[in-house]
Amino acid sequence: MRLKILTVDDSKAVRMIVRKAFRNFDIDILESSNGVEGLAAASKEGPDIILLDVTMPVMDGVEMLAKLKADALLKPIPVVMLTAEAGKENVLKIAKLGIRDYIVKPFKEEVLVEKVARIIDLKPLSSEGARKKTLKDECTFLVVEDKPAIIKQITDGLSNPNWKVHGVATTGEAIDFCSKKVPDIIIISLSLPDDGASVLFKLLRSQVKTKFTPIFGLSVKTAVAEQQNAQQLGVSTLITKPIDFDDFEVKIAKAINLDTSEKYFSFDADFLCIRLPKNATQTHLNEVSAFMKAKASEAVDNGFLRVIIDVHELTNVNVNIIKLLVDSMATCQELSLKYQLVGSPQVIAECKNFEESRNWTFFESMELARATK
Amino acid sequence: MESENSEAFPFAVQDVDAMVADSAEKVFSTMLSTAAKPFVAYNHGETPAKCHPRLAPAAEKMMVVGMIGFLGDIKGVIYIYVDEPTSITITSSFLGLDKNSLKDNHETVNDALGELSNMISGTYKNQLCDKGYNCRLTIPSILRANNFTIEPLPGAMHRMYQFEIFDSAMGLELVMIEGD
């Protein structure tokens, strides 16, 4: 069951700011605009925490707090005051009624989140709660590396133009960056001076905003000891130098639960197209295999009757590719989808070398396949 | 420079000015990530040394005014006003909303200006409390008007301020008097 925050404030602006502050967390925000509504919502919904203003019409926050604490059922709900009222005398009076914390307006959203996180177990939105990111969505990667050449290499090496790499050289700069914007992934060089990687990792994990952000360790392939230390710390993934960018991108996709299907699957006017890349590695094949059933079902759902499997770019054909194609054809048959193959003369020739693909019929171009229904 | 009506007040004008400037600055830097730079401060009835062009008297210019009172050992009212385009800029920055979505959306803009007034007045009032003058805030209200003036209260301190915010300006008037 999702946690609930009840915010009781007569200002719609404050309620909007609270909602904004918690937008990346798996939490329901309930709203009331005065103490009477707040008490009713608390009784009905049983929130896990209440954020309470003081000066409100109908019933103010002090009266609501007093009534809440006089009710045996509602008394255990932790209350955090969120108010412009901060005169010592008034604060003491309110504190005596029983509150967990006191936030004075104006306030930073991060402070609000940090204080609430000390009371309830805030979790970031799960992939089910948030729309899955696709390759078209912008992602930000923070690279903490004191060697500018490596930052440049990563910036140049990642193929997706929607992926923005921000490089910093020190842990201080990294913390500063994360306080302003939480990146999708943080990549830390394990060879930062003064055990910087370990210090930074612990700091990031201690902060609510970055508690669940995937952190990659970046290390030279042969630096086994520092890689072991990083794994013991709990670093999500290790990237070794020299960087294999195909592998790096797959790890990125996995870490942020990225929908990479559009790399291989696209819907045309009346067919689903599956396209294998030039140098298809086992990783690519695994990705295609993982998306195959869902995409074929989506095609059926959209009223499509055929699938074109385009392998003309392949530079070589191996047994794993043949196996993937056999499985894909079987999936199409299960769903009564007609399939057509497109291959280059080289691919067609290489397919003759395998028992399963010896008799396959190929179109030599997409245009021909598209025209033949 | 103190006017006649502020001589009897328990605080020096400089202290009041510092508290007001601190309150505006704190709210703008925390909630809107921008500065509220003091532009001019003067007593009601005096001619200011300068006037920000965005707050120059213009009978037909619509202003959005946030008003909030405080009651107790010291009582008073703080008025905060900006022109309409500035009220939209403030709301957009305050709530992270697109400016276009706020045109003609008086409810949201009024609410944001009311809360901003609440925060500035609250921060100011809390400083009074810390000096031993206990008081509490009233609920903010908003009006939209052109060619408005705030009349002085006999025996009250009435200070007028202008702040540079974004590429515009915000006016603030403070009227206060010792409580009964």
Q: How many CA atoms lie within 13 A of B59 on its CB side?
A: 0
Total domains, chain B: 1
Contact A197, A154 (CB under 8 A): no
- The C-alpha of B5 sits at a distance from chain A's nearest C-alpha, in angstroms, of 27
Q: Considering A237, A259, A281, which residue would you say is the last residue of a domain?
A: A259
CA nearest to B127 within chain A: A87
Identify the CATH number of the domain in which residue B18 sits: 3.40.1550.10
Identity of the residue numbered A356 = E
pLDDT over 60 (residue B79):
yes
Distance of alpha carbon A104 from alpha carbon B116, whole angstroms: 13
Residue A122 lies in a domain: no
CB contact under 8 A, B138 and A11: no
Q: Which of residues 52-111 of A touch B (CB under 8 A)?
A: 55-57, 83-90, 104-108
pLDDT over 90 (residue B123):
yes
- How would you classify the pairing of strands A265-267 and B36-43? unpaired
Cα–Cα nearest to A10, from A62, A79, A57: A57
Hey, is the C-beta of A221 within 8 angstroms of any chain B C-beta? no
- Between B178 and B43, where is the model more confident? B43
Distance of alpha carbon B124 from alpha carbon B78, whole angstroms: 10
> What residues of B are in contact with residue A104 (Cβ under 8 Å)?
122, 126
Residue B53 lies in a domain: no
Q: Which of residues 250-289 of A touch B (CB under 8 A)?
A: none
Distance of alpha carbon A39 from alpha carbon A45, whole angstroms: 10
Distance of alpha carbon A6 from alpha carbon A43, whole angstroms: 11
- The C-alpha of B2 sits at a distance from chain A's nearest C-alpha, in angstroms, of 27
Distance of alpha carbon A222 from alpha carbon A105, whole angstroms: 52
**% of chain B beyond a pLDDT of 70:** 92
Provide the 10 A C-beta neighbour count for residue A272. Answer: 23
Identity of the residue numbered A138 = E
Residue B52 lies in a domain: no
Residues A99 and A208 in one domain: no
Strand intervals (E) in chain A? 3-8, 27-32, 49-52, 79-83, 101-104, 139-144, 163-168, 185-189, 215-220, 237-241, 265-267, 271-275, 306-310, 338-342, 362-363
The interface pTM score, or ipTM, of the predicted complex is 0.87
Sign of CA dihedral A115, A61, B72, B22: positive
Residues A266 and A310 in one domain: yes
Containing domain of residue A68, as a range? 3-117
Mean pLDDT by 10 residues, chain A (373 residues): 92 93 90 95 94 93 94 94 88 90 92 91 67 83 96 92 94 92 94 94 87 92 89 88 89 87 90 92 88 93 92 92 95 94 94 92 91 81
Residue A138 lies in a domain: yes
Residue B79 lies in a domain: yes
CB contact under 8 A, A88 and B130: yes
CB contact under 8 A, B122 and A84: yes
Identify the CATH number of the domain in which residue A275 sits: 3.30.750.24
pTM given for the model: 0.64
CB contact under 8 A, A108 and B30: yes
Residue B158 lies in a domain: yes
Residue B162 lies in a domain: yes
Containing domain of residue B108, as a range? 2-41+63-178
Residue A294 lies in a domain: yes
- The C-alpha of B6 sits at a distance from chain A's nearest C-alpha, in angstroms, of 24
Residues A255 and A137 in one domain: yes
Distance of alpha carbon A211 from alpha carbon A206, whole angstroms: 6
Query: CA separation (Å) from A139 to A50, A109, A125, A136, A283?
Result: 33, 22, 16, 9, 21
Residue A283 lies in a domain: yes
pLDDT over 60 (residue B2):
no
Provide the mean pLDDT of chain B: 87
Residues A217 and A270 in one domain: no
Residue A222 lies in a domain: yes
Secondary structure of residue A70 in the 3-state scheme: helix
Residue B48 lies in a domain: no
Distance of alpha carbon A112 from alpha carbon A105, whole angstroms: 10
CB contact under 8 A, A55 and B126: no
Residues A163 and A56 in one domain: no
Residue A254 lies in a domain: yes
Identify the CATH number of the domain in which residue A86 sits: 3.40.50.2300
Residue B51 lies in a domain: no
Residue B58 lies in a domain: no
